Chain A
Amino acid sequence: MEFYDIVSETCAFEPQFAERLGFKRIFILGKEIIAAGSKGIGNREVPAIAFGRGEQLFQLMKHGARAVSVTDSYIDRRLLASMRERDCILCMAMSTITASYGVERSRNIYKMSKLFKEARKLGIEVAFASMAKDRNYMNSYIQLVELAKLVGADEQYARQSLNKITKSIGEK
């Protein structure tokens, strides 16, 4: 099985490093995958991943975003229902867990596991990606599988999600 990951634009790494981590390819947000966030859709391209929360995500979904990353992990049932209608994928940024510490990390794990459970209950596909802002927050595919298990996915689901992430989001 081949694995893929997505990292932030600010994250620098060499292709051999991605290979060592067990990924066939690591995609860079903003360069290889079109992302839209709080600043909206600047260049009017259809975003692959929309970052944000609440009403902002509804707007980005209307513009055709294929995946949604809820930055505060808040469970908005209206948003989840709309995601299901549009076959939109929930993208979970694992750096939310790795970049936080102590009680904050614990709270993030709790919120993300609740969101994962709710999304799966509604039949929404969930994708896991590190979304690392720098090299220190990148993970090998083995570690990403364990992090996915931490938020409630089983091993098979986590592996499949890392395998088809770019297919579902739509690589450029």
Chain B
Amino acid sequence: MKDKHRYIMVEASVPLIGDEKEFFYALTKEISRCVGEANLHKVNPKLMKFTDSQHMVIKSSLQGVHDLILSLALIKRVNGNEMAFYTLKSSGTIKALEKAKATAKE
């Protein structure tokens, strides 16, 4: 059976410069701290893309999306750098997220 998933548009409080993969690894470690190692597989976070230096799309399983949103609210530091993450929107497709972001910019 195919797993259902959700995409969320996340805004970082500061522009993210450097290796995106390494940054996301550090972010996953923080998510794991919030939801617990045993629950991390339920969330199954995956970085889909950076739309610009401050915005990214993260994929999560449908059942773990609430845990992901909550942990993003609790994370205030990544790799020793103070930063915050704001969940702007959640959707079933990346296209819908990007459309919403474009509408917000207008």
Binding site for B on A (CB under 8 A): 19-22, 97-99, 101, 105, 135-140, 142-144, 146-147, 149-150
Contacts of A139 in B (CB 8 A): 73, 86
Contact-size category for B: 10 to 19
Number of A-B contacts (CB under 8 A): 53
Contacts of A99 in B (CB 8 A): 76
Contacts of B88 in A (CB 8 A): 20-22, 140, 142
The answer to whether the Cβ of B69 comes within 8 Å of any Cβ in the partner chain is yes
Closest B-chain residue to A105, C-beta based?
Answer: B74
Contacts of B11 in A (CB 8 A): 20
The answer to whether the Cβ of B72 comes within 8 Å of any Cβ in the partner chain is yes
Binding site for A on B (CB under 8 A): 11, 13, 66, 69-70, 72-74, 76, 82-84, 86-90, 104
Q: A98-B73, A135-B13, A136-B13 are in contact. Are A143 and B82 (CB under 8 A)?
A: no
Q: Within the complex, what minimum Cβ distance (angstroms) separates A11 from chain B?
A: 12
A97 to B70, CA, bound (A): 11
Contacts of B87 in A (CB 8 A): 140, 142-143
